[in-house]
Amino acid sequence: MIESLIRNLQDGNDIRATLIKVRDLLKDNDELITFKKCLNDAGFKACFMGFLGNDDPKVRRAAANILAIIGDEDALEPIFNAYDKEKTLYIREDLLEAIAAFKYGKLSDGLSDKLKQLLNGTYAEDEEVHVFSEIRKLYEMLLSKNKIKAHEFMGLPGTTEILLTTKRGLEEYTLQGIHGMPKKKAHGGVMVKTSDYASIYKVRTFEEAFIYLGESEGIPSVHEMAEFIANSDVIRFLDKSLKGGKPYFYRIDADNKLTGNDKSRYIKSLTKDIQKLTSNALINVPSNYEIELNLKAAGDKVKLYLKLCMVGDDRFKYRTEYISQSIKPYMAATIVEMARPYLKKDVRILDPFCGVGTMLLERRLAVSASSAYGVDFFGEAIEKARINSELIGPDIHYVQRNFEDFTHEYKFDEIITDMPVKSDKMGIDEIRNVYGCLFRKGAQLLRSDAVMVIYGNEHNEIKKNLRIYQDEYRLERDFVIDERTDLHLYIILRK
C-alpha cells in the first residue's frame, strides 16, 4: 500500500491527500519500516523534502509531521527553515511541534530569536490566538532545554494565608502540629498565616501547601474566570516573591464542579485567555512549570490558590522509591500522630505488610524504637524499602517473606501497618486470608501488653477476627477515616 502512495508523491498526484494517507499508514510498524527504507533513496528524499516548500500550507504541515514521525535527523534544519519562512500563522505551531520531536538543542538560539520577534510584534485580533499558541510552544521548548533561567524563590512578601490540605476529618492532627502562627480549620484542610514559608514544612501531616490569593464573586464563566485570575494578586505576588521577572510558567487545575465533563477544553480555553489578558506574563506549559494555579469551588464562590512548585518539600525526601500501592507519606505521618498516645519509646516494632517502608519510617521518626522489622512477600517493595531506609537511618531489618511464614526469636511490642487492599492481583479470598493471618500470627509474635495500629478498608474482616480472637485482643479505638471507602484506623490492644 505505502509503495503506491510513494509513487503518487513522486508523480505529484494529489499530494495533500496522499500525505495524509501516508501519515495514517505510518501507525503500522511494517509500513513505517518500508517508508523509512524508501526515504533512504536520495531522489525520493529530495522530492519529499521539497514538500516543505510547497505552495499549499497543509502540504508543508503534513510533510513536517511525517518527517517528525520518521525521526530522520537530516530533516531537522529543513523543517526549521520552513518554520522560519512560514507566513501562515496556524501552520507555524504545527511546524514547531514537528521540530520538538527531534533533538533540537542546537536550534535554541534561533528559537529564542523567533520568540523575541513574536513578543515585540503587534497583531490583529484574529491573529492573536495563533501567535499566543506559538509563543507558548516556544517557551515550552526553550524551557525543556534549560535555555530560560529558572526563577528563584526569595520568600513571602509578608504575612500570607496558606492552605495546608488534609483528608477531611483529620484537620485536628495538623492543627496540633502548628506552633507560633495563627491557624484555623478551613474547607480542604487547615489555614495558617505566616511570613516564614519554610516553617510550614515542619509539619508532616498535610499533603500540599497552597497560597490563598482571593475569591471570585459568584461562579464565573471561562472568560470571566480568566479576568478574575489576571486581575488577582497572582502576578504581584510572584513579582515580589520570585527572582527573575516575567513570564511565569504554570499549570492550572480546577474542581470538576467548574469544568464540567470536558475539563481539558475548559482548561485550554482558560489558559489562552489568561495568556492574552496578562500580556504573556503567565504562560501555561505541560511540563517544567514552576507554579500551579488551583481553582476550588466553595459554595457560590471560587477560591484561587497558588502552589510554588520550585520550592522543595524535604519532609519526605527519604521516599525516593515507591510502588503504586504505597501509602502517601503525609498520610502515614498522620496515622502515626493519631496513634501517638499508644506508641511507646524504645520498643520492638513490626510491620508485617511493609511495602516500601513508609509506615515504619514515619513511626521511627516520630517515636524512637529499639528495633524495627518490615516483612513483605513482594521482593521489589523490599528492595525499595531498603533504599528508602538508607537515606535517613537508623537501620530497619527488612525480610522478604510471606507473613504466614515469618518467625522471630523474641516477641514484639507493636505492630503498625497499612493493610493490603483488593486489586486485580489480590481478590477477596486472599484479603480474608491476610486479615486472618494478621490476627493469628499477631497472637504468636506480640507481647501480652502490645498494641496493633491497623490502617485498612475491610471493616467486616476486622470485626470478624476480633470476635474469633476475643480472648487475645481488645479494640481500643476505631477512627473512621473515610466512610465512602470504609477506611479506618484501628488501635487494638493485645490482652
Residues 6+ apart with CB under 8 A from 220: 227, 228, 302
The arithmetic mean of pLDDT across residues 93-117, rounded, is 96
Torsion angles phi and psi, residue 359, rounded to 5: -65, -45
pLDDT of 393 higher than 80:
no
78 lies in a domain? yes
Q: What is the value of pTM for the model shown?
A: 0.89
Q: Do 335 and 481 fall within a single domain?
A: yes
Q: Do 78 and 177 fall within a single domain?
A: no
List the domain range (segments joined by +) for residue 241: 153-308
For residue 74, the SS3 value is helix
Q: CA–CA separation, 141 vs 421, rounded Å?
A: 42
242 lies in a domain? yes
User: How wide is the angle at C-alpha 296 spanned by C-alphas 207 and 319, nearest 5°?
Assistant: 15
320 lies in a domain? no
Q: In terms of residues, how long is the chain? A: 495
196 lies in a domain? yes
321 lies in a domain? no
Question: pLDDT tens digits, residue range 56-69?
Answer: 999 999 999 999 99
Q: What is the CATH number of the domain that holds 214?
A: 3.30.2130.30
Q: What is the CATH number of the domain that holds 76?
A: 1.25.40
The count of C-alpha atoms lying within 13 angstroms of the C-alpha of 249, restricted to the half-sphere facing its C-beta, is: 24
For residue 294, the SS3 value is strand
324 lies in a domain? no
Distances in Å between the Cα of 188 and the Cα atoms of 107, 119, 220, 483 are 45, 39, 21, 17
Distances in Å between the Cα of 412 and the Cα atoms of 260, 377, 403, 437 are 52, 20, 14, 16
Pick 255 or 392 by higher pLDDT. 255
User: Band of the pLDDT at 110, cuts 50, 70, 90?
Assistant: very high
Nearest one of 447, 446, 413 to 343, comparing CA atoms: 413
| E strands, 88-219, in order | 152-153, 160-165, 183-186, 189-194, 209-215
The arithmetic mean of pLDDT across residues 119-135, rounded, is 93
Q: Do 44 and 114 fall within a single domain?
A: yes
Q: Do 292 and 380 fall within a single domain?
A: no
291 lies in a domain? yes
What percent of the chain shows pLDDT beyond 70?
100
pLDDT recorded at residue 314: 92
Overall domain count for the chain:
3
CA end-to-end distance (rounded Å), the chain? 77
